[in-house]
């Protein structure tokens, strides 16, 4: 099971859409991100390397040509840990996530096909009628995508119930003593 801090990382720093794909086992593409008050993170073949706000970031190692040789963050959440977490979740939630992501992919494919049927070059050198048709398709796409995104968010939050309890400090001395024992 993922710790509260790892769940917090997935929901509040990596954001729900990417976290949904990671939970569903899709971690083929390299991703990364950071922002004010956000964790620095990047994916690798082993998992998600991250440094939470307030943590000191490790130094970057450069090769002889001055290119980044090693950019590691302070912590790593492995793909195996995510798979293990998902294995302990109810099958109905795992299936719901899979179905919601399939609906998301199908809507994006429908949108891609529709926009390219209107204009293969998108807005580039488009006449006013084409621009209006592309705008209407964009509006249809956003209207169709909104409930799908809400569905994905609901499932991810159900799969990561501790995401708002990232404070791993004991609530009292008895809990602290139990952790030390």
Q: How far is the C-alpha of 137 from the C-alpha of 118, rounded, in Å?
A: 9
Asked if the structure places residue 126 within a domain, the reply is: yes
Task: Assess if residue 164 is contained within a domain.
Answer: no
What's the confidence (pLDDT) of residue 171?
53
Q: What's the pLDDT score for residue 8?
A: 83
Identify whether 165 is part of a domain.
Answer: no
Q: Based on the structure, what is the number of domains in the chain?
A: 2
Do residues 59 and 73 both lie within one domain? yes
Q: What is the pLDDT of residues 59-96, one digit of tens each?
A: 777 777 766 656 667 888 999 999 999 999 999 999 99
DSSP letters spanning 73-105: -SEEEEHHHHHHHHHTS-HHHHHHHHHHHHHHH
pLDDT at 64: 75
Strand-pair category, 40-43 with 47-51: antiparallel
**In the 8-state DSSP scheme, what is residue 40?**
E
Q: Which residues constitute the domain of residue 27?
A: 4-87
């Amino acid at each position: 099971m993922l710790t509260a801090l790892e769940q917090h990382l997935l929901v509040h720093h990596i954001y729900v859409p990417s976290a949904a794909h990671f939970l569903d086992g899709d971690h083929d593409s390299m991703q990364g991100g950071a922002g004010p008050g956000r964790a620095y993170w990047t994916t690798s073949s082993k998992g998600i390397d991250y440094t939470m706000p307030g943590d000191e970031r490790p130094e970057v190692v450069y090769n002889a040509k001055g290119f980044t040789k090693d950019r590691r963050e302070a912590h790593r959440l492995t793909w195996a840990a995510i798979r293990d977490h998902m294995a302990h979740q109810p099958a109905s939630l795992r299936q719901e996530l899979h179905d919601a992501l399939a609906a998301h992919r199908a809507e994006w494919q429908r949108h891609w096909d529709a926009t390219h049927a209107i204009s293969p070059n998108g807005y580039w050198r488009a006449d006013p009628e084409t621009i209006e048709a592309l705008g209407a398709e964009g509006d249809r796409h956003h209207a169709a995508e909104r409930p799908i995104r809400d569905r994905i968010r609901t499932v991810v939050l159900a799969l990561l119930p501790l995401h708002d309890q990232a404070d791993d400090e004991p609530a009292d001395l008895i809990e602290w003593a139990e952790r030390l024992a």
